[in-house]
């Protein structure tokens, strides 16, 4: 049985086959048709639901990728639960009023998902405001972009949806009432829904020992965390999972602990820590990494996807591995017999092949604390800015030396090889050639040739749907002048700040993002 609350009513669901999604349960078993399916792959947001897990804030999720078993103990809110549940007349909630007032629905198919994403944004914004945070228009725009980046609308062109969001956040339609539902208040007679019961083979161990024991006993049973990757096997390739081993209830895997490793201080990041949970730490210590994280998937994906899943799926285009490799992170693997700790860059062996033994799990990642001179730049290139997989990702880490130069280069790329990997030739090149001759304005054919040669020595990328080999090689090479200019611009701004009061940089922007940040 799965016990949860649905729009404030207690709900008890006979355990469905492992891998059954929340969307399937909502639409097929519970008759809640308001939540739509547009893709069943996490990319369109039509299936967006709101979830409150004990001890955490209200978040969105893609119902199409969430295993139904993870509903256990959650409060689930669907579009049917937005309007005030206790009034007999279906009074529209603030978010619904805002969408109607701004003509933000045309065909209406994306609308339930958009309404949920906006309702959750409204609630969290309100919470921030009540804690004394204020947001200007531009910051609200960023919040809106992040909240809705995973909700596609084919009809409206988004302008009215953004307007609805702004007016909602400005309080024009009243206060958010989404979190008002409480299972304690509303749980009455549990509803029983009749669907065929089968023995549950969905395991959700609560202790590390139990997890490792199950892993040893059944090494073939897939591990599942957020499911944002694995569940595609169920929805797209129609694979039936006989059993699944869920890591998300094991406390040790969900924690971020300060600690030390290899003589450095840093953090042990549990494998089941979600992107959402990781965000504050990165924001504080590695802001560029936080910016990169905001371009990983969509809000719905970031709410559920985990670090362990991103490493565990061994994808050549995962965004965290190049970042973590450039930051010289370690991965801690564990089985019943013990643990081992590897440099993350040594973990990946070949396409979708890693050092992980069949009875092992990824326990955590060790992320070193930045030294004072630590600098980082992460460049994700993709066809679309929101919710897109990297065509390529280049992460550059370096240390600033006394006179503002760069040293200790660590460069890692995703999308350039069968695994995420270091770019040793490019690192050597940056050690050798002065940055001044690598900027877009100073770069000559010969130096560009040297860069391209180094890139070619590091990587031999493939052509695929996201980009050609030619583009990947060229675009990767072009990140060198970008990073060089960035460092020089920083230097210039730095010395300008020392010499004059005027800190505004008159340097030309080295990238689109730099331009957008300036303007």
Ligand X SMILES: Cc1cc2nc3c(=O)[nH]c(=O)nc-3n(C[C@H](O)[C@H](O)[C@H](O)COP(=O)(O)OP(=O)(O)OC[C@H]3O[C@@H](n4cnc5c(N)ncnc54)[C@H](O)[C@@H]3O)c2cc1C
Nearest distance in Å: CB 396, other proteins: 14
Taking CB under 6 A as the rule, does residue 305 contact ligand X?
yes
Q: Which does 362 bind (CB under 5 to 8 A by kind): other proteins, ligand X, ligand FES, none?
A: ligand X
Helix (H, G, I), strand (E, B) or coil at 378: strand
| Burial status of residue 401 (CB atoms within 10 A of its CB: 0-12, 13-18, 19 or more) | exposed
> Pairing mode, if any, of strands 244-246 and 202-203?
parallel
CA angle 378, 382, 387 (to 5 degrees): 95
Nearest distance in Å: CB 245, other proteins: 22
- The answer to whether the CB of 309 falls within 8 A of the CB of 186 is no
Q: Which does 216 bind (CB under 5 to 8 A by kind): ligand FES, other proteins, ligand X, none?
A: none
Q: Which does 125 bind (CB under 5 to 8 A by kind): ligand FES, ligand X, other proteins, none?
A: none
Select 18 or 266, whichever has its Cβ closest to other proteins.
18
Taking CB under 6 A as the rule, does residue 116 contact ligand FES?
no
Select 184 or 441, whichever has its Cβ closest to other proteins.
441
Q: How many residues bind ligand FES (CB under 6 A)?
A: 23
Taking CB under 6 A as the rule, does residue 236 contact ligand FES?
no
- What separation in angstroms does the CA of 70 have from each of 76, 199, 202, 226? 11, 16, 10, 9
| Cα(391)–Cα(55) distance, integer angstroms | 37
Select 9 or 261, whichever has its Cβ closest to other proteins.
9
Taking CB under 6 A as the rule, does residue 47 contact ligand FES?
yes
| Cα(422)–Cα(414) distance, integer angstroms | 9
Nearest distance in Å: CB 400, ligand FES: 42
Nearest distance in Å: CB 382, ligand FES: 18
Q: Which does 305 bind (CB under 5 to 8 A by kind): ligand FES, ligand X, other proteins, none?
A: ligand X
- The answer to whether the CB of 290 falls within 8 A of the CB of 283 is yes
Do you know the residue count of the chain? 519
Taking CB under 6 A as the rule, does residue 58 contact ligand X?
no
Taking CB under 6 A as the rule, does residue 224 contact ligand X?
yes
Taking CB under 6 A as the rule, does residue 64 contact ligand FES?
yes
Taking CB under 6 A as the rule, does residue 262 contact ligand FES?
no
Taking CB under 6 A as the rule, does residue 110 contact ligand FES?
yes
Of 360, 13, 75, 294, nearest to 3 by C-alpha is 13
Taking CB under 6 A as the rule, does residue 229 contact ligand X?
yes
- The answer to whether the CB of 348 falls within 8 A of the CB of 325 is no
Select 39 or 341, whichever has its Cβ closest to ligand FES.
39
Q: DSSP letter string over 17-38?
A: PTT-BHHHIIIIIS--TTS--S
Taking CB under 6 A as the rule, does residue 230 contact ligand X?
yes
Taking CB under 6 A as the rule, does residue 415 contact ligand X?
no
Taking CB under 6 A as the rule, does residue 156 contact ligand FES?
yes
Q: Which does 64 bind (CB under 5 to 8 A by kind): ligand X, ligand FES, other proteins, none?
A: ligand FES
Taking CB under 6 A as the rule, does residue 232 contact ligand FES?
no
* Residue list 340-369, contact with ligand X (CB under 6 A): 361-362
Taking CB under 6 A as the rule, does residue 273 contact ligand FES?
no
Taking CB under 6 A as the rule, does residue 423 contact ligand FES?
no
Select 137 or 258, whichever has its Cβ closest to other proteins.
137
Helix (H, G, I), strand (E, B) or coil at 241: coil
| Cα(30)–Cα(26) distance, integer angstroms | 5
CA angle 48, 51, 236 (to 5 degrees): 45
Among 318, 322, 415, 420, binds ligand X (CB under 6 A): 318
The single-letter DSSP state of residue 80 is G
Q: DSSP letter string over 158-218?
A: SHHHHHHHHHHHTTTT----GGG--HHHH--SPEE---------EE--SSHHHHHHHHHH-
Among 18, 81, 312, 467, binds ligand X (CB under 6 A): 312
| Sign (positive or negative) of CA dihedral 462, 463, 466, 472 | positive
Q: What is the Rg, in whole angstroms, of the alpha carbon atoms belonging to the chain?
A: 24
Taking CB under 6 A as the rule, does residue 231 contact ligand FES?
no
Nearest distance in Å: CB 224, ligand X: 4
| Burial status of residue 263 (CB atoms within 10 A of its CB: 0-12, 13-18, 19 or more) | exposed
Taking CB under 6 A as the rule, does residue 489 contact ligand X?
no
Q: Which does 47 bind (CB under 5 to 8 A by kind): other proteins, ligand X, ligand FES, none?
A: ligand FES
Q: Given the rule CB under 6 A, which residues bind ligand FES?
A: 37-40, 42-47, 62, 64, 105-111, 153-156
Q: Given the rule CB under 6 A, which residues bind ligand X?
A: 42-43, 222-230, 247, 271, 296-297, 301, 304-306, 308-310, 312-313, 318-319, 361-362, 387, 389
């Amino acid at each position: 049985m799965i016990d949860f609350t649905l729009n404030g009513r207690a709900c008890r669901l006979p355990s469905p086959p492992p891998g059954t999604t929340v969307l399937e349960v909502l639409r097929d078993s519970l008759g809640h048709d308001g939540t739509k399916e547009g893709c069943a792959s996490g990319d369109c947001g039509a299936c967006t639901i709101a979830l409150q897990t004990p001890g955490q804030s209200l978040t969105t999720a893609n119902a199409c990728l969430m295993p139904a078993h993870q509903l256990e103990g959650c409060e689930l809110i669907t579009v049917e639960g937005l309007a005030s549940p206790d009034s007999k007349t279906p009074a529209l909630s603030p978010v619904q009023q805002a969408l109607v007032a701004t003509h933000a629905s045309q065909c209406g198919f994306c609308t339930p998902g958009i309404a949920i994403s906006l309702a959750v944004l409204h609630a969290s914004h309100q919470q921030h405001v009540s804690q004394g945070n204020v947001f200007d228009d531009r910051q609200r725009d960023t919040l809106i972009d992040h909240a809705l980046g995973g909700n596609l609308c084919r009809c409206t062109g988004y302008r009215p949806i953004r307007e609805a969001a702004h007016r909602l956040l400005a309080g024009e339609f009243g206060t958010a009432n989404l979190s008002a539902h409480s299972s304690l208040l509303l749980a009455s007679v549990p509803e029983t829904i009749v669907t065929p019961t089968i023995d549950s083979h969905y395991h959700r161990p609560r202790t590390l020992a139990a997890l490792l024991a199950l892993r040893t006993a059944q090494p073939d049973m897939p591990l599942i965390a957020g499911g944002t990757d694995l569940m595609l096997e169920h929805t797209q390739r129609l694979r039936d999972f006989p059993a699944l081993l869920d890591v998300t209830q094991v406390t040790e895997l969900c924690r971020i602990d300060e600690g030390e490793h290899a003589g450095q201080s840093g953090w042990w990041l549990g494998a089941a820590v979600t992107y959402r949970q990781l965000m504050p730490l990165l924001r504080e210590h590695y802001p560029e990494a936080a910016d990169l994280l905001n371009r990983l998937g969509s809000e719905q994906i970031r709410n559920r996807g985990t670090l362990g899943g991103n490493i565990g799926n061994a994808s050549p285009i995962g965004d965290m591995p190049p970042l973590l490799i450039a930051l010289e992170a370690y991965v801690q693997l564990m089985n019943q017999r013990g643990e081992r700790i590897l440099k993350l860059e040594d973990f990946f062996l070949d396409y979708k092949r890693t050092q992980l033994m069949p009875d092992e799990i990824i326990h955590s990642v060790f992320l070193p604390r930045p030294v004072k001179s630590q600098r980082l730049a992460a460049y994700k290139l993709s066809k679309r800015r929101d919710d897109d997989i990297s065509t390529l990702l280049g992460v550059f880490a370096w240390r600033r030396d006394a006179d503002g130069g760069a040293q200790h280069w660590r460069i890692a790329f995703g999308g350039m090889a069968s695994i995420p990997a270091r770019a040793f030739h490019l690192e050597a090149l940056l050690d050798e050639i002065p940055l001044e001759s690598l900027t877009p304005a100073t770069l000559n054919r010969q130096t560009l040739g040297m860069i391209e040669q180094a890139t070619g020595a590091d990587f031999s990328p493939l052509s695929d749907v996201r980009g050609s080999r030619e583009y990947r090689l060229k675009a990767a090479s072009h990140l060198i002048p970008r990073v060089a200019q960035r460092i020089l611009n920083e230097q210039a701004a730095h010395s300008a700040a020392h010499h004059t009061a005027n800190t505004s940089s008159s340097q030309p922007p080295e990238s689109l993002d730099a331009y957008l940040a300036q303007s």
